[in-house]
Amino acid sequence: LALEADLRNAFVRGEIEPFYQPIVNLKTGAVAGFEALVRWRHPQRGLVPPDDFLTLADEMGLMNELGLLMMTQAARQLAEWLHRHPSAGKLFCSVNLSVGEIERDHLVEDVARIIQETGLPRGALKLEVTEGDIMRDTAHAAEVLAKLREAGASLALDDFGTGFSSLSYLARLPFDTLKIDRYFVLTMNKDEGSAKIVKSVVNLGRDLSLEVVAEGVENAELAGLLLDASCHYGQGFGYAPALPAQEAEVYLNESL
């Protein structure tokens, strides 16, 4: 396949890069952090979204390389932003860990090195995992997550509510952040059940001293409902989609 040959070269040619979606304090509108989301700037096809190449990257055994690139670039970018925008406070940037990365050798050493080299404060580099990804080998995942946190990363449980045994993981694993899956958020203005689930998840997160992020905040009405539910942070197209680094910095600056 043409795309396969292109993807192999894309890393070497620097065509793979993170975009940054703002995660906003629902009360103040200030940017609290970003989620780094991978993009491929293909010379002919233009911007290729992850859904069009992550499966291929996985089949080609490129996910570890992709994850390392994302963590390295996001950490460097965040260090720059922290330097240029001291009023941004405890700004963080999260990167998605794929399932194979949790199980790979040297992940913890790589994360520790990246944090050390960039001089990021503890917790500023956040790693997102989904329930499904830690379910494959929970004992091992628990060990890796604890070591990542020791190495100075913070941890988010992504897509909360879509997997199984969520509650036992939440209590046992050292998460800092809970991300409510966008399905519940998107339907909370139409479906009383969704609204109640969001409210209970926010309360659960608060009781467990977790920061709660609602995904899929597509408009002001949803932001208002989330604020009423005492949710801390929102992420979604109502604020901004994932943006190229320069545009993300403009958004950050204007939000402060």
Report DSSP state, residue 91.
Answer: -
Q: How far apart are CA 110 and CA 215, in angstroms?
A: 28
Which residue in the set 6, 35, 159, 249 belongs to the binding site for Mn ion (CB under 5 A)? 159
Report if residue 182 touches ligand G, rule: CB under 6 A: yes
Write down the least CB distance from residue 94 to Na ion, Å: 7
- Indicate which of Mn ion, ligand G, Na ion, none lies near residue 98 (CB less than 5 to 8 Å, by partner kind): ligand G
Structure tokens at 2: 């043409």
DSSP structure string for 99-142:
HHHHHSTTHHHHHHHHHHHHTPPTTSEEEEEEHHHHHTTHHHHH
Q: Which residues fall within 8 angstroms of residue 29, CB to CB, at 6 or more apart?
A: 255
Does 215 sit near ligand G (CB under 6 A)?
Answer: yes
Binding site partner of 151, from Na ion, ligand G, Mn ion, none, Cβ cut-off 5-8 A by kind: none
Rounded Cα distance, 121 and 143, in Å: 22
CA–CA distance, 32 with 70 (Å, rounded to integer): 19
Name which position in 38, 148, 202, 210 contacts ligand G (CB under 6 A): 38
Q: Which residues in 78-117 contact Na ion (CB under 5 A)? A: 96
Q: Which stretch binds Na ion (CB under 5 A): 107-115, 139-147, 153-161, 162-170?
A: 153-161
Nearest approach in angstroms of CB 183 to Na ion is: 14
Is 158 one of the binding residues for Mn ion (CB under 5 A)? yes
Give the angle subtended at the CA of 214 by the CAs of 209 and 217, to the nearest 5°: 160
131 lies in the binding site for Mn ion (CB under 5 A): no
Residue 252 · residue 88 · CB < 8 Å: yes
By CB under 5 A, name the one of 128, 131, 181, 249 that touches Na ion. Answer: 128
Chain residues in the site for Na ion (CB under 5 A): 96, 128, 158
Chain residues in the site for Mn ion (CB under 5 A): 158-159
Chain residues in the site for ligand G (CB under 6 A): 21, 37-38, 49-51, 54, 70, 96, 98, 158-159, 182, 215-218, 235-237, 242
